[in-house]
Amino acid sequence: MSILIFLLALFGAMVIGMPIAFALLASAVALMFQLDMFNSQIIAQNLINGTTSFSLMAVPFFLLAGEVMNTGGLSKRIVKVCLVFVGHVRGGLGYVTIIAACLLASLSGSAVADAAALATLLVPMMTAAGHRRGQACGLVAAGGIIGPIIPPSIPFILFGVAGGVSISKLFLAGIFPGLYMGAGLAFTWWYTTRNDEVRVHEKQSLAVLFAAFKEGVWALMLPGIIIFGLKFGIFTPTEAAVVAAVYSLFVAVFIYRELKFSQIFEVLVTATRSTGVVMFLIAAALVAAWLITIADLPGQMVALIEPLMGHPTLLVLAVVAILFGAGCVMDLAPIILILTPVFLPIARQAGINDVYFGVIFVVCGSIGLITPPVGVVLNVVAGATKSTMLQVVKGVSPFLVSHSIILFLMVFFPALVTVPARWFGAY
């Protein structure tokens, strides 16, 4: 009964147009009335407590780092490096997009920021070369969702906070799944464009290659710094976020000199607005998560899916199916914050490792960012390129299939995640 009341209140509030954070609070209040324990002070206290986690301090710093990189020229130089190295290959702009998506993913941890940067820079170039606009937009959108997988990753931070899982281990375990997704996109791009008549860039000389690499090396160093620091315990994920923000600010202002001192305040304001939206959403979701625990919704879910408890693969498939459905109507952050307290205890009871489950959870939730009707990343790409939603949805379809195949391979063959994770000491 509690599950039904929670879902009716949540989706009912969303249907009438209530913002997701307030819909979460409405569902929490509905649960409190059902449990006969309504108290406005409890809601206020949990709202405040929901944002006091030290780990959540990483969120504003990674958002700031992403904003600085887009404004200060780091993202542009990463794209330029990729362009001079592989732009001469047939369909090379697509491979540039994929490689740049993987590199930007290791800088900002935000699918929306990465997709917006790539869409603005590369879609006009791809259409000018002869690629279909929808096809180009679809690839950019599909590449953008690698952002939450390769560290640093804001969704992994949220999963770690909501489930009490090591964020450092989640970060390190996400490296190879993100690369698998990039490889899947590369194969899909080759297959779908193999017969297209498109222009290619001229092959560049070694001098041009060296000059582009020399110019972009400051931006390219950041992923190595973060992964090295996390692997060897030099800093925590929260400290890594600070390192990313300070490093990107230093490079943008003093090395590339594209970010003027007069622009810093505007960058800080933009990052602060994004942080305010995200943190209020987190606070509201953690109020709902606390009441989910009080109402024992995980226990009720266990009763519903008890026949699957002895079959971990089937259990993970059931969770994936639910996440796919949720991803069609909700953003990634509320999915993580609402459903992690429900499904993670069930996964633990079934003997599924927390880190492996977290990777599957976040990968599946990220795919929801490019599934209609909500498809946050689809909307971002459509807006940035002035394309129609229908164009972007059609263009992303083959890449959505590619990501789904990679996800199911990781479900049926967990070693694809666990073996590389052991190499990094994350499993």
For the ranges 27-41, 46-60, 149-163, the maximum mean pLDDT occurs at: 149-163
Phi, psi of 87, rounded to the nearest 5 degrees: -65, -20
**Is it the case that residue 386 has pLDDT exceeding 70?**
yes
- The answer to whether residue 44 is domain-embedded is no
Check whether residue 146 and residue 209 sit in a common domain: yes
pLDDT at 357: 95
Per cent of the chain over pLDDT 70 is 94
Check whether residue 32 and residue 106 sit in a common domain: no
Check whether residue 31 and residue 82 sit in a common domain: no
Confidence of residue 109 (pLDDT cuts 50, 70, 90): low
pLDDT at 366: 92
pLDDT at 249: 92
- The answer to whether residue 339 is domain-embedded is yes
- The answer to whether residue 49 is domain-embedded is no
- The answer to whether residue 46 is domain-embedded is no
Q: Region 292-301: what's the mean pLDDT?
A: 69
Check whether residue 125 and residue 13 sit in a common domain: no
Check whether residue 198 and residue 129 sit in a common domain: yes
The two three-digit tokens of residue 118, written as one number: 């790539």
Check whether residue 392 and residue 283 sit in a common domain: yes
Confidence of residue 306 (pLDDT cuts 50, 70, 90): low
- The answer to whether residue 304 is domain-embedded is yes
pLDDT at 426: 63
Check whether residue 278 and residue 206 sit in a common domain: yes
Q: What is the mean pLDDT of the chain?
A: 84
pLDDT at 138: 93
pLDDT at 186: 94
**Is it the case that residue 420 has pLDDT exceeding 80?**
yes
Between residues 154 and 413, which one has the greater pLDDT?
413
Place of tokens 């990729």: 82
Q: Region 139-151: what's the mean pLDDT?
A: 90
pLDDT at 71: 85
pLDDT at 108: 66
pLDDT at 303: 67
pLDDT at 229: 84
Check whether residue 123 and residue 195 sit in a common domain: yes
Between residues 427 and 56, which one has the greater pLDDT?
56
Q: Region 243-247: what's the mean pLDDT?
A: 89
Confidence of residue 379 (pLDDT cuts 50, 70, 90): confident
Distance (Å, whole) CA 95 – CA 91: 7
Check whether residue 33 and residue 67 sit in a common domain: no
Distance (Å, whole) CA 407 – CA 411: 6
Residue 395 CA: distances (Å) to CA of 124, 127, 178, 363, 401: 15, 13, 21, 20, 11
Distance (Å, whole) CA 7 – CA 18: 14
pLDDT at 401: 95
**Residue 189 domain boundaries:** 54-423
Check whether residue 32 and residue 175 sit in a common domain: no
pLDDT tens-digit profile of 260-292? 888 989 989 988 888 887 788 778 877 777 777
**Is it the case that residue 296 has pLDDT exceeding 70?**
no
- The answer to whether residue 405 is domain-embedded is yes
Domain count, the chain: 2
Check whether residue 106 and residue 3 sit in a common domain: no
Check whether residue 128 and residue 238 sit in a common domain: yes
**Is it the case that residue 408 has pLDDT exceeding 80?**
yes
- What is the 3-state secondary structure of the chain? CHHHHHHHHHHHHHHCCCCHHHHHHHHHHHHHHHCCCCCHHHHHHHHHHCCCCHHHHHHHHHHHHHHHHHHCCHHHHHHHHHHHHHCCCCCHHHHHHHHHHHHHHHHHCCHHHHHHHHHHHHHHHHHHCCCCHHHHHHHHHHHHCCCCCCCCCHHHHHHHHHHCCCHHHHHHHCHHHHHHHHHHHHHHHHHHHCCCCCCCCCCCCHHHHHHHHHHHHHHHHHHHHHHHHHHCCCCCHHHHHHHHHHHHHHHHHHHCCCCCHHHHHHHHHHHHHHHHHHHHHHHHHHHHHHHHHHCCHHHHHHHHCHHHCCCHHHHHHHHHHHHHHHHCCCCHHHHHHHHHHHHHHHHHHCCCCHHHHHHHHHHHHHHHHHCCCCCHHHHHHHHHHCCCHHHHHHHHHHHHHHHHHHHHHHHHCCHHHHHHHHHCCCC
- The answer to whether residue 228 is domain-embedded is yes
pLDDT at 182: 94
pLDDT tens-digit profile of 116-128? 778 877 888 888 8
